[in-house]
Structure 1
């Protein structure tokens, strides 16, 4: 099943080169860019950078913190938090191409010294006990059936009193998910928990739940605004060639995005942040 998940996110070809080519087509030099230039691909979750910065407060990060990002993707959240707080972030992701791209993009924006990325399985983390001050996961658990092992591993690698924040897409009350969506083309690799099940899983892993925050309505509005901006920008020179999630997920990303908006609007899914302490 992990191979199926990796194949879903692997677009084929050289991802780093594809992003660099898209930047150049949009008039950007990959050697002279900022994190903002990567916004179309780099914050791969609902509400984007704003949601990432929200997590910084929950995690209580500072310059001496060592943060683990489980399911780090292209490394956007890791770079955002390293830049915003001065902390060091280690990302782990199942997809080799994403780890390679995350490393390259971090070098482009001058953050190689504050972030590093490793290929690995969230249910069997390759780190020692109590190795991190804090940990987070953003929109990763939807593809993981063994959530009990994932959260137990997160608890294991945290220092006592360390915070773990899970910001994920959950099963809503509005019915089954409409496929394809960004995390799955079919139900085979989609493993959504309900909010109630999440609380039980996190507490079962040994965490104390500090608070939870449902941002579903904000996520729906964010997606609708993003779609409107994309439509308005479509006629502008270079806009269609700028790096977007289509580079990662292929030509059916437009259908995925439409279904994501519909599932949020109809409350087939919810976005919820859980703040926990070890």
Structure 2
């Protein structure tokens, strides 16, 4: 799920990476090609494209469980992509979710899929800048992000803005890619084709930024090994099987297989790591 744009050359690189004209028609055509009925969709049939992060829907379920959810919350999904996680949260928590993304293409796709699933009353999507969120102070009970911060250059401002829109005592649930000790990232990867749109930090800096922004850790887990196992299983399963027409290549293009190979290499060589955490906003800003 992709972050909102920043007013810089780096932001332009990020926006270009995720630009996907005619996404709605591409998704509908691919659904038909994959043998699915766009007029009778089930949420699980969309997991191949609307859970745009390592381990897909399984990672969303785990992070939601770590959140220890309660019903009736107002949730903000920053970097919502095509809305898979926000729809999952709306069903699980019986809550309302607003998703924001830098990509108008993704937001339009998220709205279209939510309408076809009959969920428009529970979720809403809008294009927005993650560094200047269009909401008042303390507007949300939960902020949710998955694989977002890699594309955000000004992370200090990013986490401060998330804290601003959370109620005191509210929670941030995040699942992120951080830099590892194995050296520079091998490109292309799913979040960037070159270093111009990639801004990784290490675990120490990540936790310092959150503390500085006014968060305390409730749960924290390194899930790198789970991610590695998932990638290896996908590669073994794919083998000689023809590529499914309904997959993330719809969003990222024909070099997506190379991105996946590099993602696996980066994990194996400890160039990146995967972390999952839940943080609570302090009672005072």
**Structure 1 CA distance for aligned equivalents of residues 119 and 235 of structure 2:** 30
Q: Write the distance in 2 (CA, Å) between the matches of 1:231 and 1:121.
A: 40
Please say if 1:118 is aligned against 2:122: no
Corresponding residue number in structure 1 for 2:135: 127
> Matched residues in 2 for 1:124 and 1:162: separation?
19
Contact 1:68–1:134 (CA under 8 A) maintained in structure 2: yes
1:47-66, Cα deviation, whole Å (9 max, x unpaired): 11111111212323233111
Closer/same/farther in 2, CA of residues 199 and 15 from structure 1, 3 Å limit: same
Matching residue within 181, 185, 188 for 1:177: 185
Instruction: After the TM superposition, list the runs of 4 or more consecutive aligned residues in structure 1 that deviate by more than 2 angstroms.
Output: 57-63, 227-233
Count of residue correspondences = 272
| Counterpart-to-counterpart distance in 1, 2:93 and 2:42 | 17
Match of 2:273 in 1: 270
C-alpha contact (below 8 Å) 1:61/1:87 kept by paired residues: no
Which consecutive unaligned segments of at least 5 residues does structure 2 have? 1-9
Q: Distance in 2 between matches of 1:114 and 1:217?
A: 34
Which of 4, 13, 16 is equivalent to 1:4?
Answer: 13
In 2, the alpha carbon distance for the partners of 1:105 and 1:46 equals 21
Tell me, yes or no, if the aligned pair for 1:180 and 1:259 is still in contact at 8 Å.
Answer: yes
CA offset digits 1:235-262 (Å, max 9, x no partner): xxxx632x10000000110100000011
Deviation at 1:228, TM superposition (A): 2.5
2:145 corresponds, among 132, 137, 162, to: 137
The structure 2 residue matched to 1:59, chosen from 43, 46, 67, is 67
Q: Kindly report which structure 2 residues correspond to 1:58-97, keeping only aligned pairs within 5 A, or say none.
A: 58-97=66-105
| Aligned partners of 1:174 and 1:266 also within 8 Å | yes
What is the SS of the residue equivalent to 1:121? coil
RMSD of aligned alpha carbons: 1.2
Answer whether contact 2:72 2:93 (CA < 8 A) is retained.
no
Looking at structure 1, the residues matched to 119 and 278 of structure 2 have their Cα atoms a distance apart, in angstroms, of 27
Shift of 1:83: 1.5
Tell me how far apart the structure 2 counterparts of residues 6 and 113 of structure 1 sit (CA, whole Å): 29
